[in-house]
A = this chain, B = another copy of it.
Amino acid sequence: MLRSVVSQSLSGFPEWLPEQRIVEQQAIDRLRASFELHGFAGIETRAVEPLGQLLRKGEIDKEVYLLHRLHGAEEPRTDRTLGLHFDLTVPFARYVVENAGHLEFPFRRYQIQKVWRGERPQEGRYREFTQADIDIVGLAELPVHYDLEILAVMAQALGRLELPPLRMLINNRKLVQGFYEGLEISDIPAVLRAVDKLEKIGPDAVGQLLQAEGLSPGQIQACRDLAAISGSDDSVLDRVSALGVSSAQLDQGLTELAAVLAGVSQIQQPGLTIAASLNIARGLDYYTGTVYETQMQGYESLGSVCSGGRYDALARKGKMTYPGVGLSFGLSRTYGPLLSRGLVTGSRKSPSCVVIAVVSEERRAASNEVAAQLRERGIACEVAPAADKPGKQIRFAERRGIPYVWFPAELTDSGQAAVRDIRSGDQVPAQADRWQPPAADLHPQPVWTEPQPAT
């Protein structure tokens, strides 16, 4: 079952075999269905943005792919030079501002598209990859209950994907920043960066970094104590308060975290847990309130597979701000390693559930007619390529993993049309206007080669 990534010829640009694409496509379909059930409108934005737009948030470290035309004149690079988008947030923010007059706020949208980054590829990190984003964006204001809702929507969507166990983690930028303010720390971004290294370099090394930043032993201890707090109920808030630090910003952060945590217990998804984890620092630079990360059990080295947070202003135009909250699921980051390690693949190579055997080229139209009747009732099928011996027509189906072969009356002993389950060899008389395969056989399904968590 183990299959390697199809094309190694362009590192970082994975492509999948038809049976693997079935897995990815089903994931996209399920995400989309979940998002739409929650009223998220699907949009697509163009693949390109002017460079000035792409670097607007100071993302100059991103390795962007710029475009130039084969026959175009060489032009100096400017803000108007086109580059491929590296995420779906920047283009969405631009789309919201450009179309504000045509949109209704709060505007909820999902967007499942490819993005590109010219960075060094590694497992789960590609140069071309698919993201599935949901955001809710308001006009001037956006109530905090959306911080809970966006989490609930994504949790429900991810819960339908049959992935290894997921752990969604929450923190709040105001809480952490307010805590540091309460500690009278001056260079807060530097401390955030140091604390972010906790998992990587351990508490002692982080302590040394903080010492180098001029923090007192008491401040360092408080930073470590805060980062150690995690859990999924109100006790998290109590443990923060028990640290004896206070500031208006901290209070605001605690209130927001409380509002999200209060609803978390209602989000019941098999194979998915949600908890506050106050050591999450990554992304705090960009976000202004709630932040989210997600780890996939057994794949922690991939980093977060679903991240996001609250922006005070996803976009801004003149005096008008568009606050937003969103989550971005790394579809390629998650499925790439699972597919390329061969842990999941499709149950067959084709959408076809049935191959209609052909008696002779003269009788092909009769087999076409059987196929048309099955399709009429939603049964995917195809007609055999040639009027070969029955055994050869069966092997045609077998090689594709197609479970059934339909034999016209001329090819059966009984003289009645019949359908054979080629896995068991069972053959039963059948009529094209009523035969129905078991639901499990109707469409190809992902097949996991290792036991997955009960879902």
Contacts and interface: CB of A to CB of B under 8 A. Distances in A.
A18 B37 contact: no
B70 A42 contact: no
B104 A69 contact: no
Given A42-B25, A116-B47, A349-B41, A7 B381 contact: no
Given A64-B69, A66-B68, A13 B128 contact: no
A380 B36 contact: yes
A351 B48 contact: no
A42 B66 CA distance: 29
Contacts of A83: 70
A399 interface: yes
A341 interface: no
A96 to B, nearest CB: 11
A263 interface: yes
A45 interface: yes
Contacts of A10: 46, 48, 50, 82
In the assembly, how many copies of this chain are there? Answer: 2
A288 to B, nearest CB: 19
A365 B149 CA distance: 11
Given A36-B380, A375-B37, A361 B145 contact: yes
Q: A7, A9, A42, A104: which has the most chain B beta carbons within 10 Å?
A: A104
A113 B15 CA distance: 14
Given A48-B13, A69-B118, A365-B266, A41 B351 contact: yes
Contacts of A108: 350, 382
A40 B380 CA distance: 9
A368 B38 CA distance: 11
A104 B39 contact: no
Nearest to A382: B39
Q: A45, A51, A68: which has the most chain B beta carbons within 10 Å?
A: A68
Given A39-B381, A65-B68, A104 B386 contact: no
A433 interface: no
A30 interface: no
Contact of A400 (B6, B9, B104): B104
A5 B254 CA distance: 44
A437 to B, nearest CB: 14
Interface in A90-128: 95, 98-99, 102-104, 106, 108-109, 114, 116, 118, 128
Q: A16, A109, A352: which has the most chain B beta carbons within 10 Å?
A: A352
Nearest to A36: B351
A43 B351 CA distance: 12
Nearest to A80: B10
B380 A128 contact: no
Contact of A72 (B70, B99, B118, B352): B118
A39 B380 contact: yes
Contact of A95 (B15, B45, B380): B15
Nearest to A383: B149
Given A104-B399, A399-B104, A16 B38 contact: no
A44 interface: yes
A265 B371 CA distance: 17
A380 B38 contact: yes
B99 A6 contact: yes
Interface in A365-413: 365, 368, 371, 375, 378-383, 385-386, 396, 399-400
Nearest to A107: B18
Contact of A98 (B9, B128, B371): B9
Interface string A1-43: 0010011011001111110011001000000000011111111
Nearest to A262: B365
28 contacts: A3-B102, A6-B102, A10-B46, A13-B48, A14-B46, A16-B44, A18-B43, A18-B109, A21-B42, A37-B375, A38-B380, A38-B382, A39-B352, A39-B381, A46-B128, A47-B47, A51-B70, A62-B70, A63-B69, A63-B71, A64-B70, A66-B68, A67-B118, A70-B83, A108-B382, A145-B361, A152-B368, A266-B368
